[in-house]
Amino acid sequence: MLVTALAPAGAQDTGLQLYRANCYVCHGENGDTVAGVNFRAEIRRASTDEEVSRIISGGIPGTGMPPTNLTEPQRRALVAYLRSMNASTGGGKAPGDVARGLAIFDGKGGCAGCHRADGRGSHFGPDLSDIGATRKADYLERSILEPNETIAPQNRLVRIVTKQGATVTGRRLNEDTHTIQLIDEKDRLVSVSKSDLREYSLLKTSPMPSYQAKLSAQEVADVVSYLLSLKGSQ
């Protein structure tokens, strides 16, 4: 059993970010991809927060666990997140709420300003009306926290500059030998003849911001639950 002390407010959210940056590659989303290690069941080799923190700092000689250069406050936040995975309520992340997720999608998150869902919202970003039927929770969470890691090639924005000097950035809807049609950031359909273009390029980064510092872990879970509920017209 892991013996813990009270963690400062927000520690789990900071810990989640640190986990993703330092632990995710080896331990995976649920802390169970290293043989013999499962953070959701039990943290072996350590019975207190201080012992876990020392392992994070110094690593485990003779194993694949390397030392880190995390500061003491960072280690405390990471331990708080590991503790939340090991919680007696079943471990892992808090369950999300669909209704709260919808409210965040339409309100605080501003998602409807770019995305469409259930017939509402903008056409600028990908339509999410059936995203719950095609994507899993882990992918959706990564899309919210690290959008550049999950952007699909077909969803990359296109930047065009006409010979007259007009610049348009938008999502490509259709393209043939002679023309290209885009949806721009103001949700307008733009159709341009390729013979009128001076520049044409695919953008490598997503226009979607990372919500790591904008939404709490619970709010992310709520949005993911809402997105998973979107199954389209089944």
Provide the mean pLDDT of the chain: 83
Last residue of a domain, one of 42, 64, 85: 85
Residue type, 14: T
Alpha-carbon span 66 to 50, nearest angstrom = 17
Helices (H), 59-192: 72-85, 98-106, 131-134, 137-145, 147-150
Residues 71 and 168 in one domain: no
Query: How many domains does the chain contain in total?
Result: 3
- Whether residue 87 is predicted with pLDDT greater than 80 in this model: the reply is no
Using 50, 70 and 90 to split pLDDT, how confident is the model at 86? low
Residues 217 and 117 in one domain: yes
Residues 29 and 103 in one domain: no
Q: What average pLDDT does this structure show over 59-65?
A: 86
Find tokens 């980064």 and name the residue: 205
Residues 73 and 46 in one domain: yes
Residues 38 and 79 in one domain: yes
Residue type, 92: G
Q: What average pLDDT does this structure show over 42-63?
A: 82
| Total-model pTM | 0.56
- Please state the φ and ψ torsions of residue 106, each to the nearest 5 degrees: -85, -25
Find tokens 């810990």 and name the residue: 15
Residues 48 and 111 in one domain: no
Strands (E) across 107-165 are located at: 116-117, 120-121, 157-162
End-to-end CA distance of the chain: 45
Per-residue confidence (pLDDT) for residue 102, from 0 to 100: 95
Residues 135 and 167 in one domain: no
By the 8 A CB rule, do 115 and 122 touch? yes
Per-residue confidence (pLDDT) for residue 224, from 0 to 100: 93
- Whether residue 112 is predicted with pLDDT greater than 80 in this model: the reply is yes
- Please state the φ and ψ torsions of residue 180, each to the nearest 5 degrees: -140, 140
